[in-house]
Amino acid sequence: MKIGIIGYGKMGKAVEKIAVQRGHSISFKTNNCNLNLIKDVDVTIEFSTPESAFTNIKNCLDSNVPVVTGTTGWLDDLEDIKKLCDKKNGSFLYASNFSLGANLFFELNKKLAHLMSDKNEYKTSIDETHHIHKVDKPSGTAITLADDIISNSRYKNWKLDSNSKVIININSNREKEINGVHKVVYSSENDIISIKHEALNRNGFALGAVISAEWLVNKKGCFSISDMLIMG
């Protein structure tokens, strides 16, 4: 399979390594998406910046090239991308986190939120820590965790650095070269319940992205990594 990599930073380089190990060829790797580059690839994997993600994805869909993206911080434009994908009969897959362990953590988070939904004595918060180069706050993974809690509890919204008892507080930290730590906390006057996921390196993210790209080729529609895990 011929793969184009859009966003050749640390994640892009990790994707390249995993893709080559799995027998794929890299047709191009760039930080600036060019329509001429996209023409001769089977699929693109996009890990760029919040500012460039929409244009990169749009260019892929306009060129009828399947695109997998893990860029976060641009989700205000997600519905427009889904509409374009439907209009073009394209292939698009977005995930806030491609790690298998993180996606198991998402499922655990949903179940715990459901169990805690009527325990009003507990206040829910999320702590996330990433490397100093990550520009968006909170992380896409933290937003996914918060949205899943909202879907399974009394909470209606989340907010950065909130002290409200009716809003999920998200604490975002940027430290050194940390790959990603997410912790969901339920605290009361008497005890604390918490679950945590920590990424030790970028390999899990890269592997998930490449497997998603392998899965997406020859499919049409807008997908999530949950679709891939369920549909197989």
Identity of residue 54: F
- The bridge status of strand 168-174 relative to strand 158-160 is parallel
Q: Is 119 found in the same domain as 92?
A: no
- Cβ neighbours of 176 (radius 10 Å): 8
Specify whether 131 is catalytic: no
Specify whether 58 is catalytic: no
Digit-coded pLDDT (tens) for 164-175: 888 999 999 999
Cα angle: 159, vertex 227, 53; to 5 degrees: 55
Catalytic residue among 58, 130, 182, 197: 130
Q: Is 186 found in the same domain as 146?
A: yes
Catalytic residue among 10, 110, 123, 134: 134
| pLDDT over 90 (residue 229) | no
Domain that holds residue 117: 100-198
Q: Is 208 found in the same domain as 191?
A: no
Question: 115-121 long-range contacts, Cβ below 8 Å, gap at least 24?
Answer: 116/153, 116/186, 116/193, 117/152, 117/153, 117/154, 118/154, 119/186, 120/154, 121/188, 121/189, 121/190
Digit-coded pLDDT (tens) for 126-140: 999 999 999 889 999
Give the percent of the chain with pLDDT over 90: 85
The number of folded domains in the chain is 2
